[in-house]
Amino acid sequence: MRERQIVNSIPRRHQLLYQLLALMVAIAVLPLLISASILIRINQRVLENDLLLLHTRIATDTADQISHSLAWIFDQVEVLAKTQLLALPLSSEHRERLLLHYLDQYPDLLQLSLLDREGKEIACAYRAERISPSTFLPDPGLHQEMIARSREGKRAISPPFLAGAPKGPVLRIYQPIKNDAGEVAGFISALLSLEGINELISKIRVRRQGHAFLVDQRGRLIAHPNRARVLQEDLSDLEIVKNYLLVGKTGGTVPFRDKNGREMLGAYSAVKNLGWGVVIQEPREDAYLSVAEMKRQTLIAGLLATLAAAGLGIAFARRVSYPLQKFVQGALSIAGGNFSNRIDLKAKNEIGQLARTFDYMTMQLQAYDENMKEMFLGTVKSLAAAIDAKDPSTRGHSERVTRYSLAIAEEMKLSTREREKLNIAALLHDVGKIGIDTHILRKPGRLSEEEYFLIKQHPVMGANIMAPIRQLSDVVPLMRHHHEFFDGTGFPDRIKGKEIPLGARIICVADTFDAMTSDRPYQKAMEVGYVVDRIKEWSGTRFDPEVVEAFVRCVRDARIPGHKDA
Ligand SMILES: [Fe+2]
Ligand SMILES: [Fe+2]
């Protein structure tokens, strides 16, 4: 129990195994995590730059493309305005045919009108399959405003609006027609479909979910992959659109949230001369997919490294802590008086050397211990022999009682420690007789009451003689009680049953047997068979039945031969 307390007195966190484990894990995982986090940060920064470049490039390219295609169509309308369509005296049917011919060449134009100076329609041509006359005009107020602006001699362009069948984004171009004097004499008004631009915008894909959209100078959505949203939404609140409206030109943004609250990355670029802006946006999670993957792989690598380090740590720690545990056990074994244990480690390193030294030390201690025990036992035997010699009839009595007692103890499977105690107690059981007059001890015939009283003092006297020897504290009770009887009728304390120490109960049987099988001044030696019968009779009264049984088996097996044959 005490040994366990000593071994377990190390808190778990201080145990070598756990300390080495923590060290191995730290060595394996910390550098990995630090380098991975640096790499991820660098990667993220590079990726952010690349993304900004990519988004900006797509936005700029798209804005240029839109700008070019619109400029081209504006130029075509301008060319039409420079023809003599208004100046020549043509019939309106003729003019309309000419307009229709023109219209056929430009699929994006839905309708062409020739207007007089007041903005009143003189001739009109339109794509009947795509638009009806009732839908191709903006509201009258806007029409007048455009006419007024165009009358100053420059092209006017309406904001996009919905028209056509099905309704799609369109805008109206007002191109002034000048006479020879350079005055504005009328206008060409053209309805331009923005479907082509919407298509261009819709086709743009940036990886999985990145896309483009187009806003006008007020932030209204004028082209979007989702056609239903076109000209139905005001995006001027959206952070990236706000940025565009504020800055114009081309730029990228810090991450922003779209209307659904998703985090986005993006860039914008202005469409020249129109004030429109192409916006590219992509969900942040998509953009950082590779970074997320990198983090995931780092995590897996970290976990694997932790497991590997833990495995190695355990193996390594066991290699170190196992021998140490053997040393602890060896040391505890020595502390408990057992010198037969050996560390016996085959290691060739310093630990192996230490183990061999430790075993050598234990061997030396064992030899010293055995020497001491031998010397002690020799002394005890000499003392016992000296007592026995006080009376020639008891010569060898203590040695024989000891031999018989040990035979019974072996039969009863007593522990080594118990047998060692018994050995000394049996040798010294009659040491108290040292203080009894020799003539009483040698007296033939019956003893007087007083003499018998004196004789009966020998267990107490023996116990008192040995009591000061601390190392014999376990032995003294066996000496004191070797004349107690199992039924409590013995002496000196008249204790009974299991109160009498087992060793004393054994000595009592062995002592009686030797006394009865030896010649004494007051009696002749009795036959072994007779004595055994008597002892059996006294089983349960004088003697412990279990001891008697063991004793009988020993006699039967000739392990207890009787004095004559001993
Ligand atoms: Fe005795
Ligand atoms: Fe005795």
Residues in the chain: 566
Q: Which ligand is nearest to the CA of 482?
A: 1
Instruction: Render pLDDT for 438-458 as a digit per residue (tens, 0 to 9).
Output: 888 888 878 899 999 999 999
Same domain, 397 and 529: yes
Residues 407 and 490 in one domain: yes
Domain-located, residue 332: no
Query: How far is ligand 2, taken at its centre, from the CA of residue 520, in Å?
Result: 12
Distances (CA, A) of 108 to 10, 74, 126, 169, 348: 88, 11, 11, 11, 92
The tokens for 221 are 């959505």
Do residues 531 and 410 share a domain? yes
The residues, ordered by sequence, that sit 6+ positions from 424 with a Cβ below 8 Å of its Cβ are 377, 380, 472, 475
CATH of the domain at 132: 3.30.450.20
User: 3-class SS at 159?
Assistant: coil
Q: What is the distance of C-alpha 367 from the center of its chain? A: 51
Q: 109 and 141, same structural domain?
A: yes
Rg (CA), the chain: 60
State residue 264's pLDDT score.
Answer: 87
**Domain-embedded: residue 373:** no
User: Within a domain: residue 333?
Assistant: no
Tokens in use for 6?
């000593």
Residue 482 CA to ligand 1 center (angstroms) comes to 7
* Nearest ligand, measured from the Cα of 520: 2
Structure tokens at 328: 């602890």
Residue 404 sits in the same domain as residue 540: yes
**C-alpha pair distances (Å), 222 with each of 232, 367, 473:** 9, 105, 109
Residue 460 DSSP SS3: helix
In a shared domain, residues 54 and 103: no
| pLDDT given at position 432 | 92
Measure the CA–CA gap between 29 and 17, rounded to whole angstroms: 18
Nearest to 112 by CA among 127, 132, 90: 127
Give the rounded distance of the alpha carbon of 358 from its chain centre. 39
Q: What's the structural domain count of the chain?
A: 3
Give the distance (Å) from ligand 2 centre to CA of residue 394. Answer: 8
CA distances in angstroms from 416 to 332, 366, 412, listed in the order given:
18, 16, 12
Cα 92 to averaged position of ligand 1 atoms, centre (Å): 159
Domain encompassing residue 133 = 83-193
**308 closest CA partner among 7, 32, 13:** 32
Q: How far apart are CA 225 and CA 227, in angstroms?
A: 6
**Residue pLDDT tens, the chain, 566 long:** 455 555 556 676 667 777 777 887 788 778 878 888 888 888 888 888 888 888 899 999 999 999 999 999 999 999 888 887 777 778 888 888 888 888 888 888 999 988 888 888 888 888 878 777 777 666 788 888 889 999 888 999 988 988 877 788 999 999 999 888 888 889 999 999 999 999 999 999 988 888 999 999 889 999 999 988 888 888 888 888 888 888 777 777 667 888 888 888 888 999 888 889 999 998 888 877 777 887 888 888 888 888 888 888 788 877 777 888 888 888 998 888 888 888 888 878 888 888 899 999 999 999 999 999 899 989 989 988 888 888 888 888 999 999 999 999 999 999 999 999 999 999 999 999 988 888 888 888 788 999 999 999 999 999 999 999 998 999 999 999 999 999 999 999 999 999 999 999 999 999 999 999 998 877 889 999 999 999 999 999 999 999 999 999 999 988 888 665 55
Q: 427 C-alpha vs ligand 2 centroid, how far in Å?
A: 9
Ligand number, closest to the Cα atom of 455? 1
CB atoms < 10 A from the CB of 211, how many? 18
Residues 172 and 209 in one domain: no
Judge if 421 and 549 occupy the same domain: yes
Find, among 68, 51, 45, 44, the residue nearest to 267 by Cα: 51
Within-domain flag for 3: no
Residue 368 lies in a domain: no
Q: What per-residue confidence (pLDDT) applies to 553?
A: 95
Instruction: For residues 179 and 117, state if they share a domain.
Output: yes
What is d(CA 554, CA 566) in angstroms, rounded to the nearest whole number?
13
CA atoms within 13 A on the CB side of 540: 2
Domain match, 135 and 212 both: no
Q: Are residues 52 and 90 in the same domain?
A: no
Of 193, 228, 247, the position where a domain reaches its end is 193
- What distance in angstroms lies between residue 459's CA and the mean position of ligand 1's atoms? 6
CATH number, residue 404: 1.10.3210.10
Residue 408 is predicted with a pLDDT of: 97
Count of other CB atoms within 10 angstroms of residue 144: 12
User: If you measure from the C-alpha of residue 531 to the centroid of ligand 1, how many angstroms do you get, rounded to a whole number?
Assistant: 18
Please tell me whether residues 41 and 115 are part of one structural domain.
no
Q: Is residue 380 part of a domain?
A: no
* Domain C-terminal end among 297, 312, 327: 312
Residues with CB under 5 A from ligand 1 (ion): 430
Q: Which of 500, 488, 511 is nearest to 401 (CA)?
A: 511
372 belongs to a structural domain: no
Residue 492 to residue 495: CA distance in whole angstroms: 8
Phi and psi at residue 301, to the nearest 5°:
-60, -40
The two three-digit tokens of residue 452, written as one number: 């018998």
Residue 503 to residues 232, 247, 382, 420, 547, Cα–Cα distance (Å)? 110, 108, 21, 10, 10
CA distance 117 to 438: 167
Angle, CA 217 vertex, CA 186 and CA 66 arms, to 5°? 75
The two three-digit tokens of residue 62, written as one number: 């798209």
Domain boundary among 312, 335, 360: 312
Ligand showing the shortest atom-to-Cα distance for residue 491:
1
Closest-lying ligand to the alpha carbon of 397? 2
